[in-house]
Amino acid sequence: MIFKATVAALMLGASAFAASAEGWKPESPECIAPANPGGGWDFTCRQVGKSMQDLGLIEKTMQVVNLAGGGGGVAYAEVVNKRNDSNDLIVAASSATATRLAQGAYPGNTMDQVRWLASIGADYGVIAVAADSEITTLPALLDMIKNDPTSVSVAGGSAVGGWDHLKVLIAANAYGVEDVRKVKYIAFDGGGEAVTQLLAGSVQAFTGDISEAKGFVDSGDLKVIAVLSPERLGGEFADFPTAKEQGVDAIGANWRGFYAPGGMSDEAYDAWVGNISALYASPEWKEIMAANGLAPLDLQGADFEKFVSESVAQIQNISREIGIIK
């Protein structure tokens, strides 16, 4: 299956190395979240920035800049074209970033124009509905799509053809929906905005990641009808059914991490990699991962770059398979 390598990577153990207390430090640390507040990229920037400062890995507060548009394309172009030599800047990335790169959706941009720093874990995908929805299972939703694709709109925080879109197509494909291109997907700039539209009744379902959905589940607004994981997650996520246990063999894991400007100095690059690695290895980050449903994914520097490159190739394959690209 296309995502076997990704799932295997989630099993990697911690191998982070501690950042040195001496050496290069950012003067004005900044993280771009390529979406509006409330989604997974926003969570990545804000939680990592706060945790790094709490642990003393950075001395100053991380400024978070929300730069939405084009499924991350606006932020990517900004970094490549205008911020290429910034040593203080990191950018939140995920499988959605790899998806858009794989599909050529960032015009003129390729993955080798930036430097890939490190991962901080992985989210499994979820499909959810409003808490008061009459839909209670994934097969019920997919039956509605099978019978009348126009009757169901599914909202996500990535562009059309992006990772959130792919997740619901993978589930539909696994359930036997003959032409998944008929699935009605509506793109928003971030998971938070997609959930808002779901709660307003504009759409019938939400496709995103478990970290995006968690706050809305806790507030009583969302009902998760399927997690796209091989087996049930632990802890407070144990009540969420998997797609597989409902007869839908669909798995989707969304890695989370960071890239940096292509012209970043080696000294700054090594320091950021070290800081993210030290954060990942900390007991505090393990608690945050557990609380937010993040699965292990511990990759830094060249290993992370290789992983992203392989992810791009895998997503190109599945995108061709379901007719998104030729």
CATH number of the CATH domain containing 137: 3.40.190.10
Assigned token pair, 150: 């126009």
Number of domains in the chain: 2
208 and 222 fall within a common domain:
yes
Q: What is the pLDDT of residue 77?
A: 97
Q: What is the pLDDT of residue 16?
A: 34
- Asked which of 246, 274, 308 is the last residue of a domain, the reply is 246
Q: How far apart are CA 57 and CA 49, in angstroms?
A: 10
Assigned token pair, 82: 């205008």
Contact 201, 166 (CB under 8 A): no
Residue 101 makes CB contacts below 8 A (sequence gap 6+) with 109, 110, 111, 312
Mean pLDDT by 10 residues, the chain (326 residues): 41 37 86 92 96 97 96 96 98 93 92 97 95 97 96 93 90 91 92 93 95 90 95 89 96 93 98 98 95 90 95 85 80
27 and 104 fall within a common domain:
yes
The whole domain housing 206 covers 124-246
Q: What is the pLDDT of residue 22?
A: 58
Q: What is the pLDDT of residue 6?
A: 43
Q: What is the pLDDT of residue 141?
A: 98
Note the pTM of the prediction, 2 decimals. Answer: 0.77
Domain at 258, CATH number: 3.40.190.150
Look at residue 94 and give its three-state secondary structure. strand
154 and 115 fall within a common domain:
no
Q: Please state whether 80 falls in left (phi above 0), alpha (psi between -120 and 50) or beta.
A: alpha
Q: Is residue 326 part of a domain?
A: no
Q: Is residue 133 part of a domain?
A: yes
